[in-house]
Amino acid sequence: MATRIQVRRDTAANWVAAGSTVLAAGEIGFESDTLLFKIGDGLAQWQNLEYAGGTTPIWKNSGGTAITDLNDASLRNNGNGKYLFAGADASLANEPSGLSTATDGQLMVTVAKYDYTGLTASGNERFLMTLQTLTTGKFFFRTYNGSWSAWYLVITGDSSGNATVPGDLAVNGADITTTSTGTATVFNTNATTLNVGQAATTVSVGATTGTATIRNATTAITGNATVGGSATVGTTLGVTGNTTLTGDLAVNGGDITTSAATATVFDTAATTVDIAGAATTLNIADAATAAQTINIGTGVTGSGATKTINIGTGGAAGSTTNVNIGDADGGLVTVNRALTVNGLTTLAGGLSGTIAYSNLKSGTVINVVGTVHQDNSVVDTLSSGSISRTRTWTYTPLMSNSKIVIFAGSMSASVTGASGSAQGSVSITASQTSSPAGTFSLTGPTNTSATITSQQTVFIGGQYLMTHTASGSGSRTYTLTVTTTRTAGALNYNMLVPQVVTTLFEVIP
């Protein structure tokens, strides 16, 4: 006859209600309403045993009705199991908020029972529930230790393999890599503040070749910045520490500014500094300020060394170089050393103030005060007798003590078809005012004569030197008289004119 084998069986609710049921090792217990079964180990009670196989989803509770609440006790009473729900909608209570059947599709829920102390006592039971949306790939989890905790979204994956992490991502393996050989983008949208490697003592960005572009309006580097190759900053680069460039720095925006009160440029190492070599206009310290001090070449040189400061010396042949010092509103231009002027010097404003004679080299001309005086309004034609011309004027020296150099006298003649000679002479006298007190002396040639033999102009005078001293608040005033005399020669001249020609200037004695 046939052999019939039957196993222990009951409904899922009755198995759980029994509470202390322990299946022998290898003994099978069958749930008649869920068609699931367990195999005993001789130790664990029924509710602590796993279902055999454990891979078939269930969707009904122990009473045989559909599960409509994710807090349903049957999800825990069934031990470890998988549950497939038709979809996320309002009819399924206590699901994660925001889910819908239309977008998220069916739900796969897995419940894992564990003993958090490692013991088997029923009072230590805990449950971990995970939920997956089968269309949108969202993964949630929550725990049960007497009541269910809130749902936590762990990750979302889509059909293209993209993953979204709603919280922080810790990569404890240290590397984030990609197999893409094209472009990799990190945090390209939404994030307006990006912190990278804040605990790093060494940060390397990019390869040793190529271009690194920082497109922010302001880029702040709080430490020392070293740029080994070429660096392009789209707008403003703010560096609060030191910046070392091993290459050149091109500022195509035009301005280099600082908020510091003192700024130093190329202060060490560079022995030759070229600035604005292509500039047609160069402005230095030209902003409107209450007071300014501009120093050029004021550093101390070594003993015996020569310091050369060139200003406007690069003019080509035929060019014009204008050098302006000071303005028209007043002030002083001080030259503390000997001044050599190789070209014509014009003092449009004259000289004023007190001259320190001890600082001026002897023989220095300090001012040209005289002009050329001529008297050729009379033309004489004679073969005998003499003609004299006299010029008298007053002169006030600009210095209280100086030498006044006077060049005086000339004679000219126009001759037609005649030859012969005529003589002339020059004399000069001076007188002084009565105050302020002082003395003067006049030295030079007396009755100096010259002979004119043809149509020409001959200087018949000489150089006269007047040395004067004066005390009191001002310089003395002198009256100078110069006389030239022509004496007739052997022949009759059509025109013979003696002229008073004088030039005065002062010289440091």
Mean pLDDT of 262-280: 83
Write out the H or E segment, with its range, that includes residue 12. helix 12-18
Going from N- to C-terminal start, the domains of the chain cover 1-53, 57-169, 386-507
Q: Is the model's pLDDT at 117 over the cut of 80?
A: no
pLDDT higher at 290 or 352: 290
341 φ/ψ angles, rounded to the nearest 5 degrees: -115, 115
pLDDT value at residue 488: 65
Mean pLDDT of 225-235: 66
The band of 486, judged by pLDDT with boundaries at 50, 70 and 90, is confident
Q: Of 75-79, 297-301, 368-372, 455-459, where does the model show the most confidence? A: 297-301
CA distance 114 to 112: 7
CA distance 8 to 6: 7
Q: Of 24-28, 178-182, 322-326, where does the model show the most confidence? A: 24-28
Q: Is the model's pLDDT at 479 over the cut of 60?
A: yes
In sequence order, what are the beta bridge partners of 8? 29
> What rounded mean pLDDT belongs to the chain?
76
The band of 27, judged by pLDDT with boundaries at 50, 70 and 90, is very high
The band of 221, judged by pLDDT with boundaries at 50, 70 and 90, is confident
332, burial (CB in 10 Å: exposed 0-12, middle 13-18, buried 19+): exposed
**Is the Cβ–Cβ distance between 463 and 416 less than 8 Å?**
no
Q: Of 166-180, 227-241, 364-378, where does the model show the most confidence? A: 166-180
CA distance 281 to 486: 60
Do β-strands 8-10 and 28-31 pair in parallel, antiparallel, or remain unpaired?
Answer: parallel
pLDDT value at residue 354: 58
pLDDT digits (tens, 9 = 90+) for 382-395: 556 677 777 777 77
Q: What percent of the chain has pLDDT over 90?
A: 6
pLDDT value at residue 373: 55
CA distance 455 to 413: 5
Angle at 101 between CA 95 and CA 104, to 5 degrees: 80
Enter the DSSP assignment of 327: B
pLDDT value at residue 432: 80
Enter the DSSP assignment of 62: T
pLDDT value at residue 379: 57
pLDDT higher at 504 or 16: 16
CA distance 241 to 226: 11
Q: What is the 3-state secondary structure (H, E, C) of 287-321?
A: CCCCCCCCCCCCCCCCCCCCCCCCCCCCCCCCCCC
pLDDT value at residue 24: 93
pLDDT higher at 308 or 487: 308
Task: Say how many residues make up the chain.
Answer: 509
pLDDT digits (tens, 9 = 90+) for 328-340: 676 777 777 767 7
The band of 77, judged by pLDDT with boundaries at 50, 70 and 90, is low
pLDDT value at residue 142: 94
pLDDT value at residue 502: 63
| 120-129, 323-332, 355-364, 477-486: least confidently modelled range | 355-364
Q: Which value, to the nearest 10 degrees, does the dihedral of the CA atoms of residues 241, 246, 250, 253 take?
A: -10
Mean pLDDT of 438-465: 74
Taken in order 327, 332, 336, 341, the sign of the CA dihedral is positive
pLDDT value at residue 346: 67
CA distance 273 to 294: 18
Which one is the CATH code of 1-53: 2.10.10.30, 3.40.50.300, 2.60.40.10, 1.10.1660.10? 2.10.10.30
